[in-house]
Amino acid sequence: MATCHLQSFWVLFLAVSRYFAHTTSTSHVHIVYLGINQIHDPILTSKFHIQVLSDVFASEEDAKRSILYSYSNSFSGFSAKLNSSQATILASMDKVVSVFRSKTLKLHTTRSWDFLGLTLDEARVTPMEFTNGQDVVVGIFDTGVWPESESFQEKPGMRPIPSSWKGVCVEGEKFEPAKACNRKLIGARYYLKGFEQEYGPLNMSEADILAAFDDALHDGVHVISASFGATPPLSPFFASSADIGSFHAMQLGIAVVFSAGNDGPEPSLVQNVAPWSLCVAASTIDRSFPTEIVLDSNFTIMGQSIISKEIKGRLANAITYFVDGVCSLGNWNRKLATGRVVLCFYTPGLVYEIAQVAVKTAKGLGLIFAEPFTKPIADVDADIPTLHVDINQGTIIGNYLAESLKLPVVQISRSKTIIGKSPAPTVVYFSSRGPSSISPDILKPDITAPGINILAAWPPGTPPTLQPSDDRLVRWNFQSGTSMSCPHVSGVGALLKSVHPGWSPAATRSAIMTTAYTRDASHDSILAGGSMAGSTPFDMGAGHINPLKAMDPGLIYDMKTSDYILFLCNMGYTQERIERIVLPSPGVDTNCKNMHGPNANINYPSISVPNLRSPITIKRTVRNVGCGKKTTVYFGVAKEPNGVEVVIWPRVLIFSPSKQEISYYITLKPLKKSEGRYDFGEIVWSDGFHHVRSPLVVLVNNSNDFTM
Ligand SMILES: *[C@@H]1O[C@H](CO)[C@@H](O)[C@H](O)[C@H]1NC(C)=O
Ligand SMILES: *[C@@H]1O[C@H](CO)[C@@H](O)[C@H](O)[C@H]1NC(C)=O
Ligand SMILES: *[C@@H]1O[C@H](CO)[C@@H](O)[C@H](O)[C@H]1NC(C)=O
Ligand SMILES: *[C@@H]1O[C@H](CO)[C@@H](O)[C@H](O)[C@H]1NC(C)=O
């Protein structure tokens, strides 16, 4: 983010995933994943990869030609162009954990790009200010960086690059290391081979992502921020570069923060759901852009937009230009709307982007779009200025129009910026929702953070609307999406790393989650965008991030290797596979026969039970990270999900200098016959000062059972 005084390491992808061409060859880029690196010498590991690959090629030369990346720094694997029979043979080998086709991943930024130009008063933007975080290196995986931006200039007094840093600043297109890298932007690499093999020269991909993880882990980053993902259906965990890379990062103590995706508000489309990473939803901040609509000089209605120039014309109803008043190109009756602002209503499928194209084609002056929920996104006004109003306001405007003898004069003033707007935060309608479609017993997303209308550095060579017809040059632009909320959480992760260098990624995640808030600025429950109801944990996970509280969480739910092994066993991985991917450590049992209990027993900071038939008891262990020098007493309170009895025992946890870690149990008992609906509650431990909160999500599924 623009104002983090953090030293950042950027992993560059110079290409976007939107364009892909078809390939005629029957060979495709595959990733062959071999698990932990057993050899500990990158050169010998790469030789070993060629040797493995040679088994499915006529010669070693052919094998060398087909290999793209040898992942040998931080884990073992390679990517290569393979046909289906070669892939099948490799997958059957004992030393191979998984083989999968390299996919093109999607960037988690919405297509609603917003523009305000250079007139914005930067001082009024309220991003998070960090005064801490020195010597923490954040690895950011993105499609590019414009190092000349003020956002990446080192500030006087920034400390030298940490001596633990082993990364480099690689030369790229229009990217000169000597000018680009400094004490803030300390390194950059880019990866294209996987994409080029599959789709031709210079355009991104998964094989490249895994190479980025392999290097980033080796280079010494502390936190990785990754705003991409693959749309569901989700791949098994070890057939996904993001999940493999983040698993190895976690084992090295590096927290990985992913965006949840922008596929909401329908349920079950959340991405990046592994229990070893953090998954971030997006919410609004307390800033809005009210825009006045004045009819006939005497009737005013407020819309939402970013309009930088006053607009004056006549207001007309969509029915004049579109069959049935539905503003789509297919319904246009070829009548021109020159000089007119057109009032269009949402109908199912008619998103405002479609109406914009239609009204623009009809040569309209502007668009007032009435929709069920006013979209909080500040809109592109380059092509056709658009005001968002809700259905009630739209109805009032429509009725005024119907009663007017001639078309009313409409005056739209420049948008204002208002800070302190309520309700805020609200989870944005497009933020991807839980439950996880692959492991609903791990609650995802984990947390929500600001992801709407975020002002960020913008490359001057790229039009703010991404449209070729747009010839403006800007240094800053508004962007929206979970890819904007993800770096906020990575920044907080870096902050926590600098304050608590010894914390594991799970401890960091626990601090972020258990201190999150669930009430908005007016003390009401945080609204879910796209509905008129409060958010559930499927919208926002544990709630909205609270960086200052996260520094002093009181208690921590840490995770041990055995938690991850339990999860992998429950997901069907065999002992042999698990031993290939888990770094060996003394006393760790990898035998699934000795692993008992559902995923709900993993020491996660939230609790999700998606199939409660009869009473179950779940175990959790908390560690006191508050003042350890004196005795601290915590009391547990449960808010019961509807129709579920919750008993916590013991109810009182007494921490002392010699006893900092205590386990407790939660018994859940269904009190109703039900199926197919989730209910929500929470568990809170408090010592009077800290409130350590865990969301509790339960689906009672017993309506087909004979007895209760
Ligand atoms: C795959 O490639 C190998 C080695 O070039 C070749 O022997 C085999 O016939 C190919 N299989 C298919 C299905 O194309
Ligand atoms: C790359 O993108 C260009 C522009 O869209 C397209 O014409 C070309 O086919 C693409 N090829 C690759 C590299 O995907
Ligand atoms: C003000 O609005 C009313 C309708 O509400 C209309 O009759 C009147 O002419 C408008 N006045 C002006 C000055 O346009
Ligand atoms: C509920 O349990 C039944 C088996 O009795 C199972 O088939 C079904 O998938 C479960 N429903 C949910 C939502 O888990």
For 92-116, the DSSP string reads TSTT--EEEEPPPPEE---S--B--
- Select from 182, 202, 113, 62 the least CA-distant residue to 456: 113
State pLDDT tens for residues 516-559.
Answer: 999 988 889 999 987 889 999 999 999 999 988 999 999 999 99
DSSP percent split of the chain into helix, strand, coil, nearest 5: 25, 30, 50
For 429-492, the DSSP string reads TTS---S-SS-TTS-S--EEEE-SSEEEE--TTS-TT--TT-----SEEEE-SHHHHHHHHHHH
For 246-289, the DSSP string reads HHHHHHTT-EEEEE--S--SSTT------TTSEEEEEE--SEE-
Q: SS3 for 315-334, per residue? A: EEEHHHCEHHHCCCHHHECC
CB 508 within 8 A of CB 495: no
H or E segment at 695?
strand 691-700
CB-based burial label for 28 (10 Å; 0-12, 13-18, 19+): middle
- According to DSSP H, which parts of 460-570 are helical? 482-499, 505-514, 537-540, 547-550, 561-570
Q: What is the number of the ligand closest to the CA of 196?
A: 2
First to last CA, the chain: 53
Q: What is the number of the ligand closest to the CA of 201?
A: 2
Task: Give the Cα separation of 321 and 395 in Å (integer).
Answer: 19
The dihedral over CA atoms of 247, 215, 108, 498, expressed in degrees to the nearest 10, equals: 70
**Which residue's CA is the nearest one to ligand 1's atom 4?**
57
Task: Tell me if 298 CB under 6 Å of ligand 3.
Answer: yes
- Whole-structure pTM value: 0.81
Is 696 strand, coil or helix? strand
pLDDT below 70 — which residues of the chain? 1-25, 104-136, 138, 141-204, 374-382, 420-422, 453-479, 706-708
The CA–CA distances, whole Å, from 616 to 334, 645, 681, 701 equal 65, 11, 16, 13
**What's the pLDDT score for residue 656?**
94
**What's the pLDDT score for residue 274?**
96
Sequence-separated (6 or more) residues with CB below 8 Å from residue 553: 510, 511, 514, 515, 625, 690, 692
Radius of gyration of the chain (CA): 27
Tokens of 46: 């790469």
CB 358 within 8 A of CB 372: no
**What's the pLDDT score for residue 128?**
28
Biggest CA–CA distance in the chain, Å, is 85
- Residue 317, strand partner residues: 343
Which amino acid, residue 304? Answer: Q
Task: Tell me if 469 CB under 6 Å of ligand 3.
Answer: no
Q: Which atom of ligand 3 is nearest to the CA of 297?
A: 14
Q: Which atom of ligand 3 is nearest to the CA of 409?
A: 14
Task: Give the Cα separation of 280 and 274 in Å (integer).
Answer: 12
For strand 661-670 and strand 644-649, is the pairing parallel, antiparallel, or unpaired? antiparallel
Task: Give the Cα separation of 103 and 207 in Å (integer).
Answer: 8
CB 154 within 8 A of CB 26: no
Tokens of 387: 């005001």
The dihedral over CA atoms of 271, 273, 279, 283, expressed in degrees to the nearest 10, equals: 50
CB-based burial label for 173 (10 Å; 0-12, 13-18, 19+): exposed
CB 389 within 8 A of CB 362: no
CB 431 within 8 A of CB 260: yes
Task: Tell me if 297 CB under 6 Å of ligand 3.
Answer: yes
- Residue 187, strand partner residues: 9
Task: Tell me if 701 CB under 6 Å of ligand 4.
Answer: yes
**Which residue's CA is the nearest one to ligand 4's atom 6?**
701
The CA–CA distances, whole Å, from 332 to 337, 345, 374, 426, 455 equal 11, 15, 25, 36, 36
Q: What is the number of the ligand closest to the CA of 297?
A: 3
Task: Give the Cα separation of 517 and 515 in Å (integer).
Answer: 6
For strand 607-612 and strand 691-700, is the pairing parallel, antiparallel, or unpaired? parallel
Task: Tell me if 396 CB under 6 Å of ligand 3.
Answer: no
Task: Tell me if 575 CB under 6 Å of ligand 1.
Answer: no
Task: Tell me if 522 CB under 6 Å of ligand 3.
Answer: no
Task: Tell me if 674 CB under 6 Å of ligand 4.
Answer: no
Task: Give the Cα separation of 708 and 16 in Å (integer).
Answer: 54
Taking the CB of residue 503, how many other CB atoms lie within 10 A of it?
Answer: 20
Task: Give the Cα separation of 170 and 172 in Å (integer).
Answer: 6
For residue 56, the CA-to-ligand 1 centroid distance in Å is 8
- Select from 475, 557, 542, 573 the least CA-distant residue to 508: 557
Taking the CB of residue 166, how many other CB atoms lie within 10 A of it?
Answer: 12
For residue 411, the CA-to-ligand 3 centroid distance in Å is 14
For residue 297, the CA-to-ligand 3 centroid distance in Å is 8
Mutate to test the pocket of ligand 4, among 436, 611, 699, 707 (most ligand atoms within 8 A of CB): 611
- Give the phi and the psi of residue 131 in degrees, each rounded to 5: -105, 0
CB 482 within 8 A of CB 451: yes
**Residue listed under structure tokens 């931080």:** 74
Task: Give the Cα separation of 328 and 356 in Å (integer).
Answer: 9
